[in-house]
Structure 1
Amino acid sequence: MLKNFYADLHIHIGRTFNGRAVKITGSKNLTLANILQTASSQKGLDLIGIIDCHSPGVLEELEHLIAEGSLVPLAEGGLRYDNTTLILGSEIEIYDTNCHGPIHVLAFFPTIMLMKEFSDWMSQHVTNINLSSQRIYCDAKTLQNNVTELGGLFIPAHVFTPFKSLYGKGVLQSLTEVFDPTMIDAIELGLSSDTEMVSKIKELEHYTFVTNSDAHSLGKMAREYQTLYVEDANFVELKKALHNIENRTVSANYGLHPLLGKYHQTVCAKCGHHVQEDAEQCPECDSKQIIKGVATRIQELSSDDHVTERKRPPYVHQVPLDFIPGIGPKVMQKLLTAFGTEMDIIHRTTVQQLATVVPQRIAERIDLARTGQLQFAVGGGGVYGKVQFE
């Protein structure tokens, strides 16, 4: 029977179990064991994509957890931990003569054997296979071919952000300048954008959109996610959902309101002043270091005469619980103790139930946050927007 599963497909690892760095900018407590435990018992995620599984240290830890029985390989792909399925992923940075990158992409594989095979191949084309998001010294289509031949999934990551993305730098006008469009399984929108904003970009018409956290810390897991309408949480069902096979689908996207995204608006990199979309110089400090906002870049790529024919799932604007003033660690723990997981708090509790555990004003703020009824100070230039309450 088909039902909805909560999925966040872009989570980094900060350190291996022996303390070795993987994602250098990731939190030190962002370990594989902590991610699995937090995803299952606190966040309430049914499926997670950990995108540093190519690292030999991570592969070693995965094999250790399988050997001790904490992780169980699934016949249809993925590794089950308690209530959560881990999908083995890798984030790779492309920068070749064709694309003028850097561009980040995600690759996912059904088994640890195939991930090891990919890691062995990748190690011949990167400087340090142990680290996350490494630059690969081959063209994008060669990478796509390798992922496809191994039965993997290929997804361009956070495609509109100003740095390290497909469209963000402003040089490329089409994904066909870089990729084989037939070997793309989905498009990750990233923070600062949503489905409606990109609806007039014609070449994205046929791709499923995913929304993920790009978590560099445990707390940021599930700040963006989606529901997959599938039979079970595994690799085969994920692939079917991305391609709308046998009624499987991404049934809803849940993400920050784009105004909260840290690259939504065009901003002066030096002083942080919000500037006009076509500004070449900051009127406040005269700096020419202008970071083009996602909203502006999407508008450049959009065609006013394009009318989408694809029926997209709803994109629900949510504010993560830890963005809400008044919800610190102690209040969060009270909520978790009372209701189970963050998915339970966000999706399955009423305001009345929440008010039995926290003050009425916080209960009401949670309800406003999960239904997109808040006001925001706009983000930009690497600084997140802020929730504004009266």
Structure 2
Amino acid sequence: MHYRNREVVQVAGQAYDCDVLVIGGGIVGLSTAYAISRAAPGTRVTLLEKEPGPARHQTGRNSGVIHSGIYYRPGSLKARYAVRGAAEMVKFCTEYGIPHAVTGKLIVATARDELPRLHALAQRGRENGITVRELGAAQMAEYEPEVDGLAALHVGTTGICDFAAVARRLAEESGAEIRYGARVVRVDRRPDRGVAVLTAAGDVVRGRILVNCAGLHCDGIARLTGDEPGARIVPFRGEYYELARPELVRGLVYPVPDPAFPFLGVHLTRGIDGGVHVGPNAVPALAREGYDWHTVRPRELGATLAWPGSWQLARRHWRYGGGELRRSLSRAAFARAVRRLLPAVREEDLVPAAAGVRAQAVLRDGTLVDDFLIQQTPRAVHVLNAPSPAATASLPIGREVARRALAALAAAGGR
């Protein structure tokens, strides 16, 4: 193969480098490689990751919560995979000695207008097969003495773990050839001859089937492949603080979420290391990997602003977004939001911590894609929306993506 006239050209008769070529070394890409090796031993898998190691973005920059699946629409992929994935993640961590704990969590109503939503959430949880206990204020205090609220739900299957450590173990166990520092700049997909990928370093990798698990860049990879994803990733930064007085919180405490928005609101999470994270909020990021207000990439920002769905989304949710921006720019405003749950918190208790960016797919009409989105096209499988709870659900997601990739491989005359 060689690079010529802005195309990756495949030389007839040259052997494939692999059967399945995976782009993206986050937990979903690694779970996919891991699942392929278990479902079809001997299948050659190559994984390309642009960073020098795994789990450098969404996987390694979240609150580390193993979600129960209570929030998600019954029957949706999120609901099914999160419930199944939570149990499997605990089992995986136990098997490989990865730090984790099943802590349970409280979802707390702090105002009367939240009580019907809290009750509806309990019903949704039960429909998803989750054991939920409804608590009054006095019972809630038995779990979290410093938390204030009118009522709460206790969800016993919620836990915490080190997802970056999970990703590293998946990489070790996957059996894949993993190439770090391999940023994909061009894709040549030909239904009769497979897929060839050019990296920024000038390397060309040929595979029979392409699997796109590129997270924050998945829509761009889909377009490089010649597929129109029908949605664009609009990045939202989630900013966190560390609680200087972690003794105020015993476990995990969440507000009742706004049903009109896919974010769960500012919550308190005691991590594996014993510290308590506070956050995240949700503000527009000025780059796909914009972890602070100073990181601006004009081309990426321009692409976000050029997508009609971005403007429709802003028009629909400007009031919610204004509150999130205020909390981003003012620690005092952030502290006021936290005090709804934890009255003892003072502004000086909030110590800035590392931020994360959520890869949220948005349709042309401004609708936020609410479920996991996996698209299959000739010789390619694209994972186009896999924000939280994707880390929790990564093992069943990986099996589903692997199933599709192996079916495409068989149809193409591969293994």
Higher strand share: 2
Give 1 or 2 for the bigger CA radius of gyration.
2
Could you tell me the TM-score, scaled by structure 2's length? 0.25
Could you tell me the TM-score, scaled by structure 1's length? 0.27
